[in-house]
Amino acid sequence: MGIRTGSEYLAGLRKHPRDVWLRGKRIDDVTTHPAFARPLAHTAALFDLQHDPRYADVLTFTAENGQRVSTSYLPCRTREDLLKRAAAYRLTAEQTLGMMGRSPDFLGSVIHGFAESAELLQPLGDRFAANLRAYAKKVRDEDLFLTHALITPQIDRSKLSGQQADEFLHLGVVRETADGLIVRGARMLATMGPIVDEVLVYSMAHQKAEDANYVFIFAMPIHAPGIRQICREPYDDGDRLVGNHPLGTNFEDSDTLIIFNDVLVPWERVFAYNNVEVINRFHGGNTGRNHSSHQAAVRGLVKLEFVVGLLMEVVKANGADKFLHVQQMVGECLHYIELMKSCLCRAVAEADVGFQGLLRPSMLAVNSARMLTARYYSRIVEIMQIVGAGGMQMMPSFEDFDSPIGADIAKYYQGAAGTDAARRVGLYKMAWDVCGDAFGSRQVQYERYHLGDPVRNLANLFLNYDKSQCQRLVAHAMEVAAHDILERQADPLALSA
């Protein structure tokens, strides 16, 4: 089949009613619910974009079976292939200004990288690695849209999964049957869950052996019997005027808690199970991390470019661009953009050979870029709040323009440098979506957490980093500058562990 159109994607959602709950009501057909309407339209447009002759060469390639498929599944034999992937990520991200983080290319890159690294699962026997490869091919050839649920729900983080108040609060295996695994319990946080085709369930690395029953990799159709999703309250029910919330009304990702109520996972959908050591090794070393972090970094750069662009327009519209400290803060943001670009260059220049002789972007480079996105993004949001100041609070609603007070709006809401009221209000409303509205708060939270806990991610970087270059310089400094220290040290050439 190969790439789908937007209407084929939507028809697929209609064909498979799912058990989705929002504000106490079950929604079978998510395609008709107003809270999902605009994000769904943007998602469908991403499918259509693959068929646009102007972009087909970037967004798709011809697979070995002759089908045109998404670039998310492109095996990288050369640096040009990696650059093609990056160009596809960028084009996709630009459609939603980097605001919809879980576009189909994100999980596409994960599952493609998983399959490339399937040999890491070989210690579990041939069957699981073969299942994973076959599933990845199915996802590619049917152009399926996936969500993922890696995290156990926040109930009591001081306890392991098996120690929670109920044995199956956290998703675990109830029993094996001839047909597959029966699983029960909950996972978070399935972003885009209501509008995807499938859910991929796996874990972060560093799981504990005692939790073996809660550590596995499998995928299921999201509409499978027993799978229920509970949505967080939407920020927009589809009734807000777009002009009043230009970003929030268009680009809201939904998030759900996902419950598995004695779901049968057929064996062919199980990719790993019952061996924490092997699964940890897989999660620590598979190529899906490289490709999905690459996607996240490119999307993050697009988002920074957009938000910094908006910042520049905001300060132009209120004349604050003439002040030195404002110029300095915008300059600081431009540095962030340039640093991100540098990381992305290094990602390709220092690509390493992963599995099957295929290239993958440098993990250190893409990892740094995505970790920096979280810091830079929240800093840019803070700067937006500082330079927009009270102006963002005095903006009227767009309805006021066409009301009896329209003349006052046109007169008193104009800005500097010939900015008319409609443009000024539009820019400031957009800025408020970024730095004040609930939509904007979620965007900050998304960048902070979407690839795991930054505290543990940074600690792991420190623990696993090749420190030799830094240590060599310290040793040299000790030699040239600290004669007294060296004479008293038991081993003059000692390096720290």
Ligand X SMILES: Cc1cc2nc3c(=O)[nH]c(=O)nc-3n(C[C@H](O)[C@H](O)[C@H](O)COP(=O)(O)OP(=O)(O)OC[C@H]3O[C@@H](n4cnc5c(N)ncnc54)[C@H](O)[C@@H]3O)c2cc1C
Q: Which of 156, 143, 151, 147 is nearest to 20 (CA)?
A: 147
Q: Which residues pair with 173 in a beta bridge?
A: 183
Q: Phi/psi at 132 (nearest 5 deg)?
A: -65, -45
Query: Which residue lies nearer to ligand X by CB, 190 or 247?
Result: 190
Work out how close the CB of 414 gets to ligand X at its nearest, in angstroms, rounded to a whole number.
37
Phi/psi region, residue 348 (left: phi>0; alpha: psi -120 to 50; beta: rest), is alpha
Query: Nearer Cβ to ligand X, position 219 or 315?
Result: 219
Indicate whether 450 belongs to the interface with ligand X (CB under 6 A).
Answer: yes
Closest CA to 155 of 139, 171, 136: 171
**What is the CB neighbour count within 10 angstroms for residue 173?**
21
Question: CA-CA distance, 361 to 351, in Å (whole number)?
Answer: 4
Q: Binding residue for ligand X (CB under 6 A) from 453, 471, 475, 486?
A: 453
* Residues from 406 through 435 that contact ligand X (CB under 6 A): none
189 binds ligand X (CB under 6 A): yes
- 3-class DSSP state for residue 368? helix
Residue among 4, 18, 38, 102 that touches ligand X (CB under 6 A): 102
CA–CA gap between residue 219 and residue 134 (Å, rounded): 12
8 Å CB contact between 309 and 301: no
Nearer to ligand X, 217 or 320 (CB): 217
**Residue with Cβ nearer ligand X (202 or 306):** 202
Residue 65 binds ligand X, judged by CB under 6 A: no
SS3 label, residue 188: strand
Distance (Å, whole) CA 238 – CA 33: 9
Interaction of residue 186 with ligand X, rule CB under 6 A: no
User: How far is it, in rounded angstroms, from Cα 474 to Cα 486?
Assistant: 12
Q: Exposed, middle or buried: residue 123 (CB in 10 Å: 0-12, 13-18, 19+)?
A: middle
Report the half-sphere exposure of 328 (CA within 13 A, side-chain side): 3
327 lines the binding site for ligand X (CB under 6 A): no
**Nearest approach, Cβ of 282 to ligand X (angstroms)?**
16
**With binding defined as CB under 6 A, does residue 150 bind ligand X?**
yes
Indicate whether 154 belongs to the interface with ligand X (CB under 6 A). Answer: yes
Q: Does 149 bind ligand X (CB under 6 A)?
A: yes
Interaction residues for ligand X, span 3-62 (CB under 6 A): none
Contact letters for ligand X, residues 214-253 (x by CB under 6 A): ----------------------------------------
184 binds ligand X (CB under 6 A): no
Q: Which is nearer to ligand X, 147 or 280 (by Cβ)? A: 147
Query: Would residue 47 be called left, alpha or beta, if left means φ above 0 and alpha means ψ between -120 and 50 degrees?
Result: alpha
Q: Provide the 8-state DSSP code for 182.
A: E
Among 165, 324, 455, 493, binds ligand X (CB under 6 A): 455
* Cα 19 to Cα 4: distance, rounded to the nearest angstrom: 24
Shortest distance, position 342 Cβ to ligand X, whole Å: 27
Closer residue to ligand X in complex, CB, 121/149: 149
Count Cβ atoms within 10 A of the Cβ of residue 42 and give its class: 0-12 exposed, 13-18 middle, 19 or more buried. middle
Tokens 């470019």 identify what position?
Answer: 305
Q: Does 299 bind ligand X (CB under 6 A)?
A: no
- Per-residue contact flags (x/-) with ligand X for residues 430 to 449, judged by CB under 6 A: ------------x--xx--x
Select 393 or 441, whichever has its Cβ closest to ligand X. 441
Interface with ligand X, residue 170, by CB under 6 A: no
Looking at residue 262, the DSSP 8-state letter turns out to be E
The piece of 76-84, 126-134, 183-191, 417-425 that touches ligand X (CB under 6 A) is: 183-191
Q: What are phi and psi of 380, to 5 degrees?
A: -65, -40
Whether the Cβ atoms of residue 257 and residue 229 lie closer than 8 Å to each other: yes
- Residue from 33, 90, 148, 291 that binds ligand X (CB under 6 A)? 148
Binding of residue 364 to ligand X (CB under 6 A): no
Q: With CB under 6 A, what is the number of residues at the site for ligand X?
A: 21
- In whole angstroms, the minimum distance from the beta carbon of 179 to ligand X comes to 26
Q: Does 255 bind ligand X (CB under 6 A)?
A: yes
Per CB under 6 A, 207 contacts ligand X: no
Q: In the complex with ligand X, which residue's Cβ is closer, 70 or 292?
A: 292
CB of 17 to ligand X, least distance (A): 22
d(CA 218, CA 265): 8
Q: Which residues bind ligand X (CB under 6 A)?
A: 102, 147-151, 154, 157, 189-191, 255, 442, 445-446, 449-450, 452-453, 455-456
